[in-house]
């Protein structure tokens, strides 16, 4: 049954996002073309400039838009009128949430790929890619981080950060929805509460990390400290960033069973 839920969740998000992807890639192409054109006809440079502006806006927007579409789909499909169908399907509620989560994740990856692709289409020149990687590698080495650790950690926190926000929104919407009026207002309130709780958890994490690695206090006061010295903090906050989306997922599953209140 999960596969079937995935099928329809993916279809639905694709319908909203694929046109946007097309637009971004098209604009990337137009940036490249107008760039070439303006080299031969400098008078057209303002067109290139405009394309560039639109392109940058879309590139910045792509992940926000993906996030927005994911949350909107969840809200409409599970908590609004469509919820009467979704919640009476012969599937576990946790499968419903899992399917939405997986779909959000998949499209965040796809959107990132599209974003990179569009940037390559617009700006790639021979060797520019390896230049970029060299630069990043140098940066990591300067910070005394193994490049592979640097890449993995960054990617991991980006993913868990995005999914964390997705699941926080899911949870806040579910909790806010149990009210009879002002559901959105309550969702925002619950969202802020969750955010507050997470801040507290972060502090606790730092505290626990200091207990385990007392050197940290010295390190944090030392302006010559390196990332290596703070490794324990990175590890513990990395663990927290993984636990947050997982925790929100399980809480969402629990509350959707007990607190569902369709209009």
Partner 1 sequence: MELVKCNKLYKDYGFEKVLKDINITIPKGRIVGLLGSNGSGKTTLIKLINDLITPTKGEVLINGEKPGVNSKKIISYLPERTYLNRDMKVSEILEYFNDFYSDFDTNKAIKLLKKLNINTTDKLKTMSKGTKEKVQLVLVMSRKADLYILDEPIGGVDPAARDYILDTILTNFNKEASIIISTHLISDIERILDDVIFISNGEIVLYEEADKLRKKEKKSIDAIFREMFKC
The verdict on 82 binding partner 1 (CB under 8 A) reads: yes
Q: How far is the CB of 67 from partner 1 (least distance, A)?
A: 20
Q: How far is the CB of 118 from partner 1 (least distance, A)?
A: 26
> Segment near partner 1 (CB under 8 A), from 19-27, 46-54, 76-84, 162-170?
76-84
> Segment near partner 1 (CB under 8 A), from 7-15, 142-150, 153-161, 194-202?
7-15
Binds partner 1 (CB under 8 A): choice among 90, 125, 211, 223: 90
Q: How far is the CB of 96 from partner 1 (least distance, A)?
A: 11
Convert residues 175-194 into a mask of x (bound to partner 1 by CB under 8 A) and - (unbound).
-----x--------------
- Footprint on residues 107-146 left by partner 1 (CB under 8 A): none
Euclidean distance between CA atoms 118 and 38, whole angstroms? 20
Tokens 């569009």 belong to: 118
Q: How far is the CB of 81 from partner 1 (least distance, A)?
A: 5
Binds partner 1 (CB under 8 A): choice among 8, 124, 133, 148: 8
* Residues 245, 169 contacting (CB under 8 angstroms): no
Write out the DSSP string of the chain.
Answer: -HHHHHHHHHHHHHHHHHHHHHHHHHHHHHHHHHHHHHHH-GGGHHHHHHHHHHHHHHHHHHHHHHHHHHHHHHIIIIISTTHHHHTTSSS-HHHHHHHHHHHHHHHHHHHHHHHHHHHHHHH--TTHHHHHHHHHHHHHHHTT--HHHHHHHHHHHHHHHHHHHHHHHHHHHHHHHTSSS-HHHHHHHHHHHHHHHHHHHHHHHHHHHHHH-THHHHHHH-TT--TTTTHHHHHHHHHHHHHHHHHHHHHHHHHHHHS----
The verdict on 4 binding partner 1 (CB under 8 A) reads: yes
Binds partner 1 (CB under 8 A): choice among 18, 53, 89, 204: 89
Report CA-CA distances (Å) from 136 to 128, 131, 140, 181, 247. Answer: 12, 9, 6, 50, 33
Q: How far is the CB of 80 from partner 1 (least distance, A)?
A: 9
Binds partner 1 (CB under 8 A): choice among 20, 65, 92, 250: 92
**What length is written for the chain?**
263
The verdict on 56 binding partner 1 (CB under 8 A) reads: no
Q: How far is the CB of 139 from partner 1 (least distance, A)?
A: 45
Q: How far is the CB of 82 from partner 1 (least distance, A)?
A: 6
| Complex with partner 1: residue 156 or 262, whichever CB lies closer | 262
Q: Give the interface with partner 1 as residue ranges (CB under 8 A).
A: 1, 4, 7-8, 12, 15, 77, 81-85, 87-92, 180, 257-258, 260-263
């Amino acid at each position: 049954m999960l596969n079937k839920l995935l099928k329809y969740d993916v279809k639905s998000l694709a319908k909203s996002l694929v046109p946007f992807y097309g637009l971004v890639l098209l604009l990337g192409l137009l940036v490249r073309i107008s760039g070439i054109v303006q080299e031969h006809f400098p008078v057209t440079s303002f067109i290139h400039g405009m394309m560039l502006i639109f392109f940058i806006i879309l590139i910045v927007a792509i992940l926000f838009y993906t996030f927005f579409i994911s949350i909107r789909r969840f809200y409409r499909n599970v908590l609004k009128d469509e919820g009467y169908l979704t919640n009476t399907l012969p599937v576990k509620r946790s499968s419903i949430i899992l399917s939405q989560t997986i779909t959000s994740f998949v499209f965040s990856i796809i959107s990132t790929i599209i974003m990179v692709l569009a940037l390559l289409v617009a700006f790639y020149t021979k060797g520019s890619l390896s230049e970029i990687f060299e630069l990043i590698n140098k940066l990591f080495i300067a910070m005394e981080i193994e490049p592979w650790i640097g890449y993995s950690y960054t990617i991991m926190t980006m993913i868990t950060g995005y999914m964390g926000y997705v699941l926080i929104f899911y949870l806040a919407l579910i909790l806010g929805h149990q009210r009879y009026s002002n559901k959105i207002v309550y969702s925002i309130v619950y969202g802020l509460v969750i955010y507050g709780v997470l801040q507290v958890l972060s502090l606790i994490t730092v505290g626990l990390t200091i207990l385990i690695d007392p050197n940290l206090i010295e390190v944090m006061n030392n302006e010559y400290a390196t990332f290596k010295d703070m490794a324990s903090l990175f590890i513990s906050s990395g663990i927290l960033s993984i636990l947050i989306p997982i925790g929100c997922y399980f809480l969402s599953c629990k509350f959707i069973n007990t607190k569902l209140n369709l209009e």
